[in-house]
Amino acid sequence: MNPPALVTRSLYKRFGGITATQDVTLTLPQGARHALIGPNGAGKTTLVNLITGMLPPSSGAIELDGHDITRLPAHRRAQRGLVRTFQINQLFGQFTPLQTIALVVAEREGMGARAVRALCRSTSVVDEAAVLLREFHLTDVMHSKVVHLPYGKQRLLEIAIAVAGQPRVLLLDEPGAGVPAGESAEILDTLAALPADVAVLLIEHDMDLVFRFAQRIAVLVNGALLVEGAAADIARDPRVKAVYLGEASHA
């Protein structure tokens, strides 16, 4: 059997006196549709940063497709197919969507270091980018600078970048953030259209999105895993309800 797509083992992260991540052990099998939920400040984004290599762990290990990547630099993890989206759009402001996706495709194909032939003359790259943009309904804005795009389009581009990388493991950090309820259907469509062999971890607050998407859910509270299981079980779990209800009663 294939090794799981992503594994974290006893991941810890301490900042001075604060333990942001506490003994987190997660397994993402191939083709997973998992979600990670938890109250604000639970450390979900910290965990993503640890997995992708933006933060070094205080202790613990991370494996991608059975290979230990704990000490691998962030860009190398991305090259191996560990891709994430950001909670706040992280785009290249001066690029157009077409330029952005073309660059992502070129990097994926290992052409990123080539300095002689123009990017725009690479027909296969440009064509693939055009196709992807059409799938994300970005064709009509593909020549507009990203800074000029409305938020919804920027959010779609954020996810398109991740998909363009043909990831093995995809970590989606609150893809629905800031998107009005009417437009989140587009987000859900793109999530549903993700290839079956990609392992997806969805971090979300929008429970609607979570329960429609995820097979298994992990609940993170104060940096530690409270419980992890099948979506239906989590929905019924009294501890999970207490965590969220407890949060609601403080609100």
Q: Which residues bind other proteins (CB under 8 A)?
A: 52, 54, 73-76, 78-79, 83-84, 86, 90-96, 98-99, 102-104, 106-108, 111-123, 126-128, 130-132, 134-135, 139, 142-143, 161, 165
**Minimum distance from residue 91 beta carbon to other proteins (Å):** 7
For residues 170 and 210, which CB has a smaller minimum distance to other proteins in the complex?
A: 170
Task: Report d(CA 249, CA 191) in Å as an integer.
Answer: 32
**Minimum distance from residue 8 beta carbon to other proteins (Å):** 18
For residues 86 and 213, which CB has a smaller minimum distance to other proteins in the complex?
A: 86
For residues 21 and 122, which CB has a smaller minimum distance to other proteins in the complex?
A: 122
For residues 91 and 235, which CB has a smaller minimum distance to other proteins in the complex?
A: 91
DSSP SS3 for 158 = helix
DSSP SS3 for 249 = helix
Task: Report d(CA 66, CA 124) in Å as an integer.
Answer: 32
**Minimum distance from residue 120 beta carbon to other proteins (Å):** 5
Dihedral sign computed on CA atoms, order 99, 104, 109, 112: positive
Q: Spell 153-168 as b/e; 16+ CB within 10 A means b.
A: bbbbbbbbbbbbbebb
**Minimum distance from residue 186 beta carbon to other proteins (Å):** 18
Task: Report d(CA 135, CA 17) in Å as an integer.
Answer: 46
For residues 158 and 204, which CB has a smaller minimum distance to other proteins in the complex?
A: 158
**Minimum distance from residue 129 beta carbon to other proteins (Å):** 9
Task: Report d(CA 174, CA 101) in Å as an integer.
Answer: 21
Q: Strands 82-85 and 199-203: what pairing?
A: unpaired
